[in-house]
Structure formats: structure tokens, C-alpha cells
């Protein structure tokens, strides 16, 4: 069992380029595998989750070469996937499992999909239900809510679907199923979620329209060609260093080429309102590519904030680290409408409140968020992260501003999204 030991930091200084964006890396492999010809992916996230996606497509007969953050896919077109002799394994990756269900539902062969112990506890019904409305036949435990799932071959037809929860994974699963379905698949979002699938469609010249909160694709789509995809740094990984730089006194950190897609920058907006000194300089991105920029973070005194509504999906993975920031902010921070945090890699509402409370914070869990009173001094202690990568990295940042040593147990899953996190952190800590 891996553990992470963190000591209080005097100051953080330096420049980092965080690894590639996880959501974009998954989608680049998926679309590249369906394209005709070569797709090259630059600055691919070489993490356990994204490698699970690569291995699944290899099992579906796609030739994929990967070395570090460089990937080359030799695609043979939209209808070239072959049945896998093995059960497909998404590992710890909810994004792989959920989006893939849509893609597999459109194939002319049966597949089986599973995941690790944590993923086998996470709900799949949110994807299975609309896919069934499209004609898919998916079976498995608890009325096909849990992996392992069997996806049988069926003809799909487009539907209009109002997403009951703002979820980019569900939207993306339906858009991928829509590539193979007959007619229009239209998804209506309750509030905007990350639009990397739509952007990736446009990069591969797949027609996809977006009007207000309605996104649609008309299938079956025509074959499309491979291309080169440049993946920006993952803002969800940068988030840990952004908050660390704000909280540790006398710090200045430059984070280069971070993805700045507006559907992902909710944390920057909230921290801005909390008084964070953050300089954002956008870099010019070619048309159709994901926007990115350089971020400079200076230590700052923070005040409390209220986070709810449309902001929530724009920073859904950043709540654990925002909770850490809120323990050091002046006043009462209120987080509402984030009930989906309960079904992430762990129950993040519970895990963050138990752990931060143990460190001395004033944090109360709610059904859909937290009430956090700050600022409170934190004390280092031994903490569990329930195998959740984002909880582990958030607690490591809390450890930088705590008194004494913080030990986080069971941290191997940091590698699912951010291999090299510990060495990046060490690089920034200055005496
Ligand atoms: C993701 C969407 C989000 C996010 C996850 C990645 C994606 O999940 O939490 O880490 O790549 O589409 P939901 O769609 O469940 O909100």
C-alpha cells in the first residue's frame, strides 16, 4: 500500500507543465480509433485511466502505439472495431466505462465491460437508461446499474433526451451512440457541462450542432479521417498547485499550457471571487483546438464564497481542493447542488469532511455539499483517502499548510490521473 507523507511548506516557487487533460486524452483515443488513417496525440495523459482506454481499443482490434505522452493510432474507420476475446476492463475509470457504453451499444457484436472494485460500485444506470431508449440491450447486476455489463448488438435509433443530471459522461455516451444510430440524437442539458466531445467531433470534421442547451448529431455519420490532436495540461491537475500556491505564504508558481476551456474553469472564477491573485495569459490556439494558457499564482488571503447552480458542473472535479481552500478563507463558504460528489471515486462529500475535520477544520457535510467556516489552523495526522486520487491530492495540499506531518494512506490511485504528482510537489517546495 502506497502512502504520501507531507510536511509543512515554507514557500512554493517554480514552473510546472502539468500532464495532459484526462477527459481530452480519453476522447482522442476513442475518436482516433474510429477514424480512417493515422491519429497522433501529443501530450497524451499517460495515466492508468487513459491507458485503460487504450487497452480496451487494442482489444477491439485497433493498432495503437504509445510511448509516454505520444500516441499513434492506425484507425481503419467507423465500422472497423472487432469483438474482443476478453472482457473489456475500464479499471478505475468512470469516464472510460460510461462513454464506452454508448460506443459499444452501436457495434454489430456483443461486448462485456467491467472495472475495478471501486468502479463496480458506481452507477451506470444514468447511461444505460437513455441508451435503452435508443434500442440498446444492456444487462447486468441491479437492473444494469452496476458493472460488469453485457452489451448486445441492436440497431439504435436517435432520440431526444433531457439529461436529468448535468453529466458530460452521459452526454458523451449518447453522442457516441448517435454516430451509429439512425436519425437525430438530440441531448438537452440542464446546465452546460464540459464540451470536449463536441470539440473533438469538430476536430475530426464530424457534423454536430449546438443551439442553446441542445446538442445533436445525425447518424450514421460519414467516415472521417485521422488527425493530430494536441492535448492541453489538465486544469483539474493544475488545481492542486493553484490552491497550494495561494495558501502557502510567500509563493509564486507558473503553470504552463493549462487547458482553459470555459466549461472547465469554474474553480478559477470562484477563486477570483475569493480574492485569489491569479494571472492568466492565454496562448494562441489554432482553430478547433482546445484553448489553453499560462497561469501565475501568488499567495493570497482568501475570503469565503458561495458555490451553486451552473458553476457546479464547470468545476465538478475541483470540489475536494476547493474545500481545502475554504478552510483557510475568511468567513462561511457554502457549497450546494454538488450531490453527484457522492458517486465519484469515493463519496467525496463524506471523505473530505471526515478528513478535514480530523485536521481541525470546521466543515459540515450536507446532502449536496458543505458548510465550511474559516480560517482554521490545520494539524497534520494520518488520513485515509478511500483510494480516491483527488481526495488524496487535496489532502496533500492541506498537509502543506498544516502543523506537523500529514500521512495519506492508500495513495496508489493518484496514478489514475496524475502520475508524477509527488515529484511535481517536491520540485516546488523551497526551504
Ligand atoms: C468527465 C465528466 C465528469 C467528471 C469526470 C470526467 C468526462 O463526470 O467528474 O472526472 O470526461 O466527461 P460526470 O459526467 O459524471 O459529471
- Structural domain boundaries in the chain: 3-20+232-430, 22-230
Q: What pLDDT score was predicted for residue 413?
A: 96
Give the span between the Cα atoms of 174 and 272, in whole angstroms: 34
Q: What pLDDT score was predicted for residue 153?
A: 87
Phi and psi of 290, rounded to 5°?
-70, 135
Task: Kindly report the protein residue whose alpha carbon is nearest to atom 16 of ligand 1.
Answer: 167
Say yes or no: CB of residue 93 within 6 Å of ligand 1.
Answer: no
Q: What pLDDT score was predicted for residue 284?
A: 87
Is residue 291 within 8 A of residue 259, CB to CB? The reply is yes
Q: What pLDDT score was predicted for residue 203?
A: 96
Q: What pLDDT score was predicted for residue 285?
A: 82
Mean pLDDT along residues 402-410: 98
Say yes or no: CB of residue 96 within 6 Å of ligand 1.
Answer: no
Task: Kindly report the protein residue whose alpha carbon is nearest to atom 13 of ligand 1.
Answer: 167
Residue among 20, 126, 194 to mutate when testing ligand 1 (max atoms within 8 A of CB): 194
- The kind and range of the H/E element at 280 are strand 277-283
Q: What pLDDT score was predicted for residue 69?
A: 98
Say yes or no: CB of residue 244 within 6 Å of ligand 1.
Answer: no
Give the span between the Cα atoms of 302 and 321, in whole angstroms: 14
pLDDT tens sequence across 357-375: 999 999 999 999 999 999 9
The pLDDT of residue 288 is above 90:
no
Q: How far is the CA of 167 from the centre of ligand 1 (A)?
A: 6
Residue 117 binned pLDDT confidence (cut-offs 50, 70, 90): very high
Say yes or no: CB of residue 317 within 6 Å of ligand 1.
Answer: yes
Mean pLDDT along residues 187-209: 97
Find residue 186's DSSP bridge partners: 160, 216
What ligand 1 atom has the least distance to the C-alpha of 194?
Answer: 12
The pLDDT of residue 116 is above 80:
yes
Give the span between the Cα atoms of 279 and 281, in whole angstroms: 7
Residues serving a catalytic function are 317
State in words which class domain 3-20+232-430 has. Answer: alpha beta
Say yes or no: CB of residue 23 within 6 Å of ligand 1.
Answer: yes
The CATH homologous superfamily of the domain defined by 22-230: Enolpyruvate transferase domain (3.65.10.10)
Give the span between the Cα atoms of 208 and 199, in whole angstroms: 9
Mean pLDDT along residues 95-120: 97
The pLDDT of residue 286 is above 90:
no
Q: Which three cell numbers stand for residue 412?
A: 496508489
Q: How far is the CA of 263 from the centre of ligand 1 (A)?
A: 12
Per CATH, 3-20+232-430 and 22-230 having the same topology is answered: yes
Q: How far is the CA of 396 from the centre of ligand 1 (A)?
A: 23
Mean of the per-residue pLDDT values of the chain = 97
What ligand 1 atom has the least distance to the C-alpha of 170?
Answer: 14
What ligand 1 atom has the least distance to the C-alpha of 26?
Answer: 11
Beta-strand (E) ranges in 315-391? 331-335, 362-366, 369-374, 378-379, 382-384
Q: What pLDDT score was predicted for residue 141?
A: 98
Say yes or no: CB of residue 107 within 6 Å of ligand 1.
Answer: no
Say yes or no: CB of residue 167 within 6 Å of ligand 1.
Answer: yes
Task: Kindly report the protein residue whose alpha carbon is nearest to atom 5 of ligand 1.
Answer: 95
Is residue 44 within 8 A of residue 66, CB to CB? The reply is yes
Is residue 108 within 8 A of residue 78, CB to CB? The reply is no
Q: What is the DSSP letter of 200?
A: H
Give the span between the Cα atoms of 145 and 142, in whole angstroms: 5
Find residue 70's DSSP bridge partners: 42, 67
Taking alpha carbons only, the member of 18, 12, 9, 11 closest to residue 255 is: 18
Is residue 155 within 8 A of residue 182, CB to CB? The reply is yes
Q: Which residues of 366-400 are buried (b: 16+ CB within 10 A; e: fewer)?
A: eebbbbbbbbeebebbebbbbbbbbbbbbbbbbbb
Q: What pLDDT score was predicted for residue 58?
A: 98
Say yes or no: CB of residue 194 within 6 Å of ligand 1.
Answer: yes
Q: What pLDDT score was predicted for residue 151?
A: 98
Give the span between the Cα atoms of 341 and 163, in whole angstroms: 17
Task: Kindly report the protein residue whose alpha carbon is nearest to atom 15 of ligand 1.
Answer: 167
Give the span between the Cα atoms of 295 and 304, in whole angstroms: 22
Say yes or no: CB of residue 172 within 6 Å of ligand 1.
Answer: yes
Count of CB atoms situated within 10 Å of the CB of 44:
27
Q: What pLDDT score was predicted for residue 287?
A: 75
The pLDDT of residue 102 is above 90:
yes
Mean pLDDT along residues 409-420: 96
pLDDT tens sequence across 258-278: 999 999 999 999 999 999 999
Give the span between the Cα atoms of 142 and 7, in whole angstroms: 44
pLDDT tens sequence across 136-168: 999 999 999 999 999 998 899 999 999 999 999
Q: What pLDDT score was predicted for residue 345?
A: 96
Q: At what angle do helices 319-327 and 389-400 cross, to 10 degrees?
A: 20
Q: Which residues of 173-196 are buried (b: 16+ CB within 10 A; e: fewer)?
A: bbbbbbbbbeeebbbebeeebbbb
Give the span between the Cα atoms of 94 and 91, in whole angstroms: 8
Residue among 102, 123, 167 to mutate when testing ligand 1 (max atoms within 8 A of CB): 167
Give the span between the Cα atoms of 401 and 244, in whole angstroms: 8
By CB atoms closer than 10 A (0-12, 13-18, 19+), residue 108 is: exposed
Say yes or no: CB of residue 33 within 6 Å of ligand 1.
Answer: no
Residue 84 binned pLDDT confidence (cut-offs 50, 70, 90): very high
Q: What pLDDT score was predicted for residue 393?
A: 98
Mean pLDDT along residues 49-71: 98
Phi and psi of 126, rounded to 5°?
-55, -25
Residue among 263, 316, 389, 417 to mutate when testing ligand 1 (max atoms within 8 A of CB): 316
The pLDDT of residue 213 is above 90:
yes
Give the span between the Cα atoms of 318 and 304, in whole angstroms: 16
- Single pTM value for the model: 0.98
Amino acid at each position: 500500500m502506497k502512502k504520501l507523507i507531507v510536511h509543512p511548506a515554507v514557500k512554493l516557487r517554480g514552473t510546472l507543465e502539468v500532464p495532459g487533460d484526462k477527459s481530452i486524452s480519453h476522447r482522442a483515443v476513442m475518436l482516433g480509433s474510429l477514424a480512417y488513417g493515422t491519429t497522433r496525440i501529443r501530450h497524451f495523459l499517460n495515466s492508468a485511466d487513459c491507458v485503460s482506454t487504450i487497452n480496451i481499443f487494442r482489444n477491439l482490434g485497433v493498432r495503437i502505439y504509445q510511448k509516454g505522452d505520444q500516441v499513434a493510432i492506425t484507425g481503419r474507420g467507423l465500422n472497423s472495431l472487432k469483438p474482443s476475446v476478453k472482457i473489456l476492463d475500464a479499471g478505475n475509470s468512470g469516464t472510460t466505462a460510461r462513454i464506452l457504453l454508448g460506443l459499444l451499444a452501436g457495434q454489430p457484436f456483443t461486448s462485456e465491460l467491467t472495472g475495478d472494485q471501486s468502479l463496480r460500485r458506481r452507477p451506470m444506470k444514468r447511461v444505460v437508461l437513455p441508451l435503452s431508449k435508443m434500442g440498446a440491450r444492456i444487462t447486468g447486476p441491479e437492473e444494469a446499474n452496476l458493472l460488469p455489463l453485457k452489451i448486445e448488438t441492436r440497431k439504435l435509433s436517435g432520440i431526444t433526451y433531457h439529461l436529468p443530471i448535468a453529466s458530460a459522461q452521459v452526454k458523451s455516451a449518447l453522442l457516441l451512440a448517435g454516430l451509429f444510430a439512425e436519425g437525430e440524437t438530440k441531448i438537452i442539458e440542464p446546465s452546460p457541462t464540459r464540451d470536449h466531445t463536441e470539440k473533438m467531433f469538430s476536430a475530426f470534421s464530424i457534423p454536430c450542432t449546438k443551439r442553446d442547451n441542445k446538442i445533436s448529431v445525425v447518424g450514421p455519420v460519414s467516415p472521417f479521417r485521422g488527425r493530430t490532436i494536441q492535448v492541453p495540461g489538465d486544469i483539474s491537475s493544475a488545481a492542486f498547485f493553484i490552491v497550494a500556491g495561494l495558501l502557502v505564504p510567500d509563493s509564486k508558481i507558473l503553470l504552463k499550457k493549462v487547458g482553459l476551456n470555459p466549461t472547465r474553469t469554474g474553480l478559477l472564477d470562484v477563486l477570483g471571487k475569493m480574492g485569489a491573485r491569479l494571472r492568466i495569459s492565454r496562448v494562441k490556439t489554432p482553430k478547433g483546438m482546445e484553448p489553453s494558457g499560462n497561469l501565475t499564482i501568488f499567495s493570497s488571503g482568501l475570503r469565503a464564497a458561495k458555490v451553486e447552480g451552473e458553476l457546479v458542473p464547470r468545476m465538478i472535479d475541483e470540489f475536494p481542493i476547493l474545500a481545502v481552500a475554504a478552510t483557510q478563507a475568511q468567513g462561511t463558504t457554502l457549497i450546494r447542488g454538488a450531490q453527484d460528489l457522492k458517486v465519484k471515486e469515493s463519496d467525496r462529500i463524506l471523505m473530505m469532511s471526515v478528513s478535514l475535520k480530523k485536521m481541525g477544520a470546521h466543515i459540515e457535510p450536507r446532502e449536496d455539499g458543505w458548510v465550511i467556516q474559516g480560517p482554521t489552523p490545520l494539524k497534520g495526522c494520518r488520513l485515509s483517502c478511500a483510494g480516491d486520487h483527488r481526495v488524496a491530492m487535496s489532502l496533500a495540499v492541506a498537509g502543506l499548510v498544516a502543523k506537523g506531518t500529514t500521512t495519506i494512506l492508500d495513495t496508489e490511485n493518484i496514478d489514475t490521473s496524475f502520475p508524477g504528482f509527488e515529484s511535481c510537489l517536491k520540485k516546488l517546495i523551497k526551504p
